[in-house]
Homo-oligomer: A and B are copies of this chain.
Amino acid sequence: MIGNRRTNDPEGVRRRIVDTAFDAFVRQGYIATGMLEIREKASVSGGAMAHHFPAKRELGLAVIRDRVSQAVQQTWIEPLDRCIDAPAAIDLIFGDIIGELAHKGSVSGCPLNNMAMDVSPHDLEMRLALGDIFAAWHEALSAKFQADLASGRASDINPGSLATLVIAIYSGAMAMAKARQDVGALVESRAELAALLAPKYHPVTSAG
């Protein structure tokens, strides 16, 4: 007769756990975050936690597959689909992130990159799951550059390696911003990135 009421809302409890874990993993890191801390912040009992996620690994996998992937989807892939070309989308995305971080005050970094950095060396399955998200990101960017090429909007670019470069710039600039707690690196990288893409777009059609 320990007898306390309980909520009995499996989907809600699970969502609360994953949401809390995602936030903590991104801000402090996967390894630095304890199960107890997640339980307390999510107001979930040990029994409920063990029921939904018997091991920390599975919670990590769930966060990667359910949250990190959709974070990349929302902040990168969907804007790419909506914008007229790749440079426009990239500039919009950088601008949104800079504005968000500037008014939020602190920089927690790119969720995908943060997770990849401290999880990759320790868990093969998580590394592969994160690799899939990188691949989807790269594919979306690459396809957009390819489309710009096909439509004549751009010329003289290699979609695949250019997509890799853009991802590297974003990830690296985010890492610098996080390390220095300053959006300056993102601002400068955005400007440089726009400048290096510009000459490849709207090629001068034999001006006289």
Contact = CB atoms under 8 A, between A and B. Distances in A.
Interface of A: 27-29, 31-32, 108-109, 113-114, 116-118, 120-122, 127, 130-131, 134, 158, 160-162, 164-165, 167-173, 175-176, 178-181, 184-185, 188-189, 191-193, 196, 199
B161 A28 contact: no
A110 B109 CA distance: 17
Task: Return the 5 tightest CB-CB contacts between A and B, nearest first.
Answer: A172-B172, A168-B172, A171-B172, A161-B188, A116-B179
B164 A173 contact: yes
For the complex, would chain A's binding face be called helix, strand, loop or mixed by DSSP majority?
A: helix
B164 A188 contact: yes
Contact of A161 (B127, B131, B180, B192): B192
A205 to B, nearest CB: 20
